[in-house]
Chain A
Amino acid sequence: MLKSRNSYRFQKILGRISVWLGLLFFIVILLFPFYFMFISSFKPNDELYNLSKNPLMIESWTLDHYTYLLKQTRFIQWLKNSTLVAVVSTGISIVIGTIAAYSLARLRYRGVQALGMVIFISYLIPTTLLFIPLAYVVRNLGLFDKQVALMITYPTFLIPFCTWLLMGYFRGIPKELEESAMVDGATRLQALRMIILPIMIPGIVSAGLFAFTLSWNEFVYALTLAQTESIKTLPVGIVSQLVLADVYFWGELMGAALLGSVPIALLYSFFLEYYVKGMTAGAVKG
């Protein structure tokens, strides 16, 4: 009896240790890039380029790379541009994606399956195939080389993404909830707005976070459709100013990458609870 209890306790401890070791492994894997960016961005060049030094440690600290980044480049401007473009395109995509997902998940009409499939396939087409046709459209609209060009082109890949993410979530919410509301006299839109959307918030937040991240990191459309220096987004600005010929300005690049990831990290940490709820709900009930 005692032996079996000890064995049970041992197994429990072993289980916990393996869980923590597993977690530790993933934490190290996930945080290592940030750690490396952090130390590289504070190393003086003579240490950064000296391969006999330990690349994972830092001997002397410098703010030179950040000074260059903030004073000699338009980093702050790029950050503002990225934020504006990402917020607007995410907002547009969430609104349209929610309505589209509701339609595809709830309504029954001819071609609904095919429509869902077409939206999904449109998400699979890579931006490198689409940027020239889209540039042509944008030029004809008179929006070439304007920030609004990005705000209207990003939703072309964000809306399909949001729609598919939210469709799973809609399907996880019992129809009876809105049917009850409609029995009580609500219109379909009222039922959607007052009953379904409040339940949907975790899903919408998840979709919004993903959409924001996709917008934030987008490169090809930003490079081709918004070329003026003052409207460049962060990824394009960094590459165009900190990679010169075959020489990479590693300290500044690492600093820019680190600072550029801060807004995303803040967003995720702020909405973490919703995000987890949204992901799990969509995953198990879809």
Chain B
Amino acid sequence: MTKKMSRRDFLRLGAVTASSAFLASCGANNSGNVVNNAANNAAANAVNNAAVNAGASAAAPLSVEGKLTMKLRAAFIPQGNEVLKAIIEDWGAKNNVPVEVDIVSMNDLQTIAATAAETGAGPDIIEINQGSAHLFADKLVNVSDVCEDLGSRYGGWYTSASEACVVEGSWLSVPRFYAPHAVSYRTDVFEAVGVTADNLPQTWDEMLEVGKAIKDAGLPPMAFPLGHAVGDANDFNYSLLWSFGGSDVAEDGKTVTIDSPETRAALEFMLKLKSVMPDEVLSYDDAANNRAFSAGSISATNNAPTIWGNAFLQKSKIMQGETEIELHTVTDHFEYPAGPVGRVSYAEFMSSAIFGHSKNIDAAKALLTYINEKDQLSPWAAPNLGFVFPALQDYKDNVIMPWNTNPKLSHFKNNVGVSHLPGFPSTNFRGGTDAYAKWVIVDMFASVAGGLATIDEAVATAKALLEESYG
């Protein structure tokens, strides 16, 4: 993890990476394996190409003051993080730019970004989440040239990526990746109540019916986070609100619209859904639903592919009656159910920002362009088992992407296309990000589900807070 890599090491790592992708694909069926083998070869080739082409991207020599430093978000597979590190270090070596890349957890990144914004000190590049570019707008470098170039070459950016990064017509952060969400579920538990891959819940009402059947059968319940889980709770609650046709703000970006029949319908549904979920959901953080699922105490939750991925990598086991089985063999996914207005999802999203204090802006831009190009982005995204979903649309159908090679991950493929940032349907993403940071929507649902407030009270509280955020 700490050793500097030579080009040879880097290529070797590429092979390891390809192997890990292959191992991952072993969970797939035979037809999937054919695709997987092709994908692995493609991944290995792509890594090799990345190494060979690292120097070719620089049109003019890049000069930096000190080192080009960056803090990037860690994915859940160490090998995937190592691939990214190697790609960046190889670019640095070829361009004669000293680079220092640190891959850290998301919560740490927010603190580092806030410090950088306030003090004007810190790394040249910091990965920020959601609509943070709107909060730090006056501290960030305009990267429209980078984004327009990449967008024109790779099929354009997803709508939610531009929602997050475009502030008053300028790109202030380079969209990087989504951690796509779907429902992770236990196939054996669902089958026990008559639900198979052919009749999975397509709507929230159908989901509730399955939840009731599971509860009546005394099986591990479904559990969707209602605590302060940065990724999972926001994802679930915003998605529910939007798919019921509710919203927290009007298109004008100022009028708070949370007090609507649609919101109340979503809250009433939440009350019903809570009746089939355990009380622990009210305190779930991002790791809690993973733990509960891994322990076999719940049968469905919303998540990025980390539950299945970690179960597969760790070969974790659970008891099925008297038999010990590997959890990943009975874990699969399906897309978020649709509400009355269809499927609308929240986007768990990261982008790479260059802070204004950077003295290495040109080098930072060159690097951000480089790592988002196909030869670099593909071999990094591929081994991350679906956790890394690039924000450029061409990658969706890229043959080596995990959602195209592993049937269990295919359910994540469409999530990003229907996703939005807090602030949707307006363009006031600064207000939306403020409301998101204050947990207004999650707390509204949680207070009703937890019996702390009536629907009227919860809506009134949320409305007052949202008026501050969007005011």
Residues of A near any B CB (own CB < 8 A): 45-46, 49-52, 72-74, 77, 131-132, 135-136, 138-139, 144-145, 220, 223-224, 227-229, 236, 239-241, 243-248
Contact = CB atoms under 8 A, between A and B. Distances in A.
Given A131-B115, A227-B102, A52 B324 contact: yes
Contacts of B194: none
A245 B115 contact: no
Given A229-B100, A245-B179, A245-B304, A50 B317 contact: yes
Contact of B1 (A51, A74, A239): A74
A51 B119 contact: no
Nearest to B101: A229
A229 B122 CA distance: 13
Nearest to A236: B108
B306 A246 contact: yes
Among B2, B112, B231, B306, max chain A CB count under 10 A is at B2
A229 B314 CA distance: 27
A245 B121 contact: no
B42 to A, nearest CB: 25
Contact of A224 (B115, B290, B296): B115
A135 B122 CA distance: 10
15 contacts: A51-B318, A72-B78, A132-B114, A132-B118, A224-B112, A224-B115, A228-B100, A229-B102, A236-B108, A244-B77, A245-B74, A246-B232, A246-B286, A246-B304, A247-B310
Interface residues of B, number: 50
A145 B122 CA distance: 8
Contacts of A74: 1-2
A144 B108 CA distance: 17
Given A49-B314, A132-B119, A247 B290 contact: yes
Contacts of A244: 74-78, 81, 105
Given A228-B102, A245-B74, A245-B106, A46 B316 contact: yes
Contact of A135 (B2, B81, B118): B118
A247 B232 CA distance: 13
Contacts of A46: 314-317
Contacts of B303: 246
A49 B231 contact: no
Contacts of A139: 119-121
B317 A243 contact: no
Interface of B: 1-2, 69, 71, 74-78, 81, 100, 102-106, 108, 111-112, 114-115, 118-123, 179, 231-232, 286-287, 290, 294-296, 303-304, 306, 309-311, 314-319, 324, 387
Nearest to A224: B115
Given A240-B102, A245-B387, 6 more contacts: A52-B318, A145-B122, A244-B78, A245-B306, A246-B287, A247-B287
Given A50-B324, A245-B387, A136 B119 contact: yes
B105 A245 contact: yes
B304 to A, nearest CB: 7
A227 B123 CA distance: 8
Contact of B76 (A49, A72, A131, A245): A245
Contacts of B75: 244-245
A53 to B, nearest CB: 9
B115 A132 contact: yes
Nearest to A131: B115
Given A135-B115, A145-B121, A224-B112, A51 B296 contact: yes
Contact of B105 (A131, A132, A227, A240): A240
A94 to B, nearest CB: 29
A74 B309 CA distance: 25
Contacts of B179: 245
B112 A223 contact: yes
Contacts of A245: 74-76, 105-106, 179, 286, 304, 306, 387
B261 to A, nearest CB: 34
Contact of B121 (A45, A77, A135, A240): A135
B70 to A, nearest CB: 11
Contacts of A240: 74, 102-105, 108
Contacts of B76: 244-247
B121 A239 contact: no
A240 B100 CA distance: 15
A244 B319 CA distance: 27
A70 B316 CA distance: 24
A155 B103 CA distance: 29
B183 to A, nearest CB: 16
A222 B310 CA distance: 30
Nearest to A77: B2
Given A239-B108, A241-B1, A245-B76, A50 B119 contact: no
Contacts of A144: 119, 121-122
B317 A49 contact: yes
A78 to B, nearest CB: 11
A76 B318 CA distance: 35
Contacts of B287: 246-248
A45 B317 CA distance: 10
Contacts of B295: 51
Contacts of A45: 314-316
Contacts of B74: 240, 244-245
Nearest to B118: A132
Considering the complex of A and B, which 3 residue pairs feature the smallest CB-CB distances, nearest first? A49-B316, A240-B104, A139-B121
A58 to B, nearest CB: 16
A125 B304 CA distance: 38
A50 B316 contact: yes
A138 to B, nearest CB: 8
Contacts of B317: 46, 49-50, 52
Contacts of B318: 50-52
Nearest to A50: B317
Nearest to B120: A139
Contacts of A145: 121-122
A244 B295 CA distance: 19
Nearest to B303: A246
B460 to A, nearest CB: 30
B78 to A, nearest CB: 7
Contact of A227 (B71, B118, B120, B290): B71
Contacts of A49: 294, 311, 314-317
Contacts of B123: 227
A239 B105 contact: yes
B306 A247 contact: yes
Contacts of A224: 111-112, 115
Contacts of B309: 247
Nearest to B309: A247
Nearest to A229: B102
